[in-house]
Structure 1
Amino acid sequence: MKLILAPMEGLADFWVRQALTDVGDYDWCVSEFVRVNGLLLPPKVFYRWCPELKNGARTRAGVPVHLQLLGSDPACMAENAARAVELGAPAIDLNFGCPAKTVNRHRGGAVLLDEPDLVHAVTLAVRQAVPEDITVSVKMRLGNEDDALSLENALGVEAAGAAWLTVHGRTKRQGYKPPAYWDRIGKIREAVTIPVIANGEIWTRDDALRCQRESGCQDLMLGRGAVANPWLLRALRTGQASDWESVMSVIQRFAVDILGSGTDAQVAGRIKQWLSYLRRQWPQAGAMLEQVKRVNEPGAMLPYLQAVQSIPAASASSAGTA
């Protein structure tokens, strides 16, 4: 079973990838997408979205980081993929799944799934532009407005030479609204010969097991569920449940790591963002968020984060299963 940390735009940046891979034995993680729009990007853009390129394309814990590209022009995508490899990217992942309206309006992400020939052409161009030992993979949704073209897209990606395909079990129209349709991922898995990785709505160990059963995929990509419970991967690998103290140890280190990485408001906002995600499984996080919501100086937040025992040890109903 391979477990991969998902590319979550605006959430799983360098700092979050570092924090989660510090405590989770991920097989690899994927960067936020680098937007390709008609130009050969300068190295600084790749370094901005994937700082790990300066460290052998690995996180602090040594987990490989694959670089994700998003765009619709085959030649330009190929040119930028080649540059990413020159900068040290060990693998290129192509984004045909982003549901963001801004991205979709500029012919990027999930809207391209309405054009299987273009999905094939982009994948083929990138595959031909990088050395054979550099893996090219694809991440897609079931479709744009519906999943009528899901098999055509998957088969086109396979024919273009993608090494594997990650499928988020919803269409763009369905966004992130539950449920994820894991059984429909299974239909794609049955139609292709390359490995298929299932993604979407995996919050607990029980979710992961049901996803594997319904999709037939052994390999899983974890997204928001890994943010809501930083120890989710350990639960999947060992069955070991996490507790509030171990969760807070991750957030405490994260808060120290990101000091000075942006303005005070930006850094404080990132800490609050993570606490907000934790509320899904940890009621204690809600109480802590209430304590710090008006604190906008990161250094002043640290005493609250370190005073774990001051937060009521309410029982999180899903903590024991995640």
Structure 2
Amino acid sequence: MRILLAPMEGLLDFRLRDTLTRVGGYDECVSEFIRVNDTLLPSHRYYRCVPELYNNSRTKSGVPVKVQLLGSDVNCMAENASKVASLGAYGIDINFGCPAPTVNRNRGGAALLKEPNLMYEIVKAVRNVVPREIPVTAKMRLGYDTTEHALVCAKALEEGGAKEIVVHARTKVDGYKPPAYWEWISKITEHIKIPVVANGEIWTVTDAIRCQKISGCKDIMIGRGAVTNPALALLMKGTQYNRFEWFEIKHLLLNYWKSMETGIDGISKNGRIKQWLKYLSREYEEAIVDFQYVKQLSSPKELETTYFSDLISLRK
């Protein structure tokens, strides 16, 4: 089984990728999407979002990272994909799944599920300009507001040249509301020949096993479940038998905090910690208490000298 770490806009960026992949269990990551409009983006834009490009497109623990592009202009997507390939990307992923209204209004992400012909043209154009040794993959949902065209969209991606697709088992309108319709992924795997990775509503090992059985997929992508339970990938692979203790989680939080010393302003740093604690509170009662405490702190200095003070003292 391969386990892929999903991107989460505004939280699971390169800093948290580094933190979670150091824990282990992941075979591959996908970056947050980079929006492509009508221009060739400069190199620094890609390096800023995916600094792993400086490290052979791998996290510090050696896990490969695909660069994800989002856009609807065929020629511009191809031009930017070629640029990303020249920067040494391990792979290029194309986003046809983002449900954010601002993205969809600008004809991006899941909005393109209404235009399977355009999906085909984008993947084909990208595949044609990217060296064959660099995989081109795509992520899709089951549709925009209906599953009616799910099979057509998946076939379009296959025929366009995608090596593999990740299927989030909900429509755009479903958002992230449970349940995930894993049975629909099974229909897709039977309809196309390329590998399919299942995604959506995988929070536990039991969920992963059920998803594999129902979807017919061996490989899985996790996002929110990974942030909620940082040991989940290890548990799924059987190399860890219990979730981490809270003191171990707090060390991960401190590592993440330290990774934000540059590039993120103070208020945002506090916000990222609160955001991760909010996810952790689904799995840990301690996170509920800590979230209530941290949300009262107004500055990074205050957070570091109170919430993390005991751990910092131990590390000195």
Task: Give the TM-score range, shorter chain.
Answer: over 0.9
Structure 1 residue ranges without an equivalent (≥5): 309-322
Kindly indicate whether the alpha-carbon contact (under 8 Å) linking 1:231 and 1:247 is maintained by their aligned counterparts in 2: no
Deviation at residue 113 of structure 1 after TM alignment: 0.6
Give 1:281's aligned amino acid: E
Residue 258 of structure 2: aligned partner: 256
Deviation at residue 73 of structure 1 after TM alignment: 1.2
Relative to the length of structure 2, the TM-score reads 0.95
Tell me which of 236, 239, 247 is aligned to 1:245. Answer: 247
Q: How does 1:188-203 map to 2 (within 5 A)?
A: 188-203=188-203
Residue 171 of structure 1: aligned partner: 171
Kindly indicate whether the alpha-carbon contact (under 8 Å) linking 1:264 and 1:296 is maintained by their aligned counterparts in 2: no
Give 1:141's aligned amino acid: R
Deviation at residue 177 of structure 1 after TM alignment: 0.3
Structure 2 residue ranges without an equivalent (≥5): 312-316
CA distance in 2, matches of 1:246, 1:211: 28
CA distance in 2, matches of 1:229, 1:135: 29
CA distance in 1, matches of 2:118, 2:241: 44
When residues 41 and 260 of structure 1 are mapped into structure 2, their CA distance, relative to the original with a 3 A threshold, is: closer
Give 1:304's aligned amino acid: Y
Kindly indicate whether the alpha-carbon contact (under 8 Å) linking 1:261 and 1:267 is maintained by their aligned counterparts in 2: no
Deviation at residue 99 of structure 1 after TM alignment: 0.3
Give 1:37's aligned amino acid: N
CA distance in 1, matches of 2:250, 2:229: 10
Structure 1 residues 60-118: Cα deviation after superposition (integer angstroms, max 9, x where no partner): 11111100000011111000000001111110000000000000001000010111100
CA distance in 1, matches of 2:202, 2:309: 29
CA distance in 2, matches of 1:98, 1:257: 27
Kindly indicate whether the alpha-carbon contact (under 8 Å) linking 1:144 and 1:172 is maintained by their aligned counterparts in 2: yes
Structure 1 residues 33-81: Cα deviation after superposition (integer angstroms, max 9, x where no partner): 0100011111111112111112221111111110000001111100000
Give 2:39's aligned amino acid: L
Residue 213 of structure 1: aligned partner: 213
Deviation at residue 307 of structure 1 after TM alignment: 4.8
Kindly indicate whether the alpha-carbon contact (under 8 Å) linking 1:203 and 1:226 is maintained by their aligned counterparts in 2: yes
Q: How does 1:1-322 map to 2 (within 5 A)?
A: 1-238=1-238, 240-242=241-243, 243-302=245-304, 303-305=306-308, 307=310
CA distance in 2, matches of 1:218, 1:305: 40
Q: Identify the range of structure 1 (284-293 vs 133-142) with the bigger mean alpha-carbon deviation.
A: 284-293
Give 1:241's aligned amino acid: N
Structure 1 residues 173-223: Cα deviation after superposition (integer angstroms, max 9, x where no partner): 000000000111111011111000000011111111111111010100001
Q: SS where residue 32 of structure 1 aligns?
A: coil
Q: SS where residue 170 of structure 1 aligns?
A: coil
- For the aligned residues, what is the CA RMSD? 1.3
CA distance in 1, matches of 2:242, 2:144: 37
Give 1:268's aligned amino acid: N
Kindly indicate whether the alpha-carbon contact (under 8 Å) linking 1:92 and 1:137 is maintained by their aligned counterparts in 2: yes
Q: SS where residue 171 of structure 1 aligns?
A: coil
Provide the aligned length of Structure 1 versus Structure 2: 308
Residue 318 of structure 1: aligned partner: none
CA distance in 2, matches of 1:264, 1:156: 44
CA distance in 1, matches of 2:301, 2:89: 34
Give 1:148's aligned amino acid: E
Runs of 4+ in 1 over 4 A off after TM superposition: none
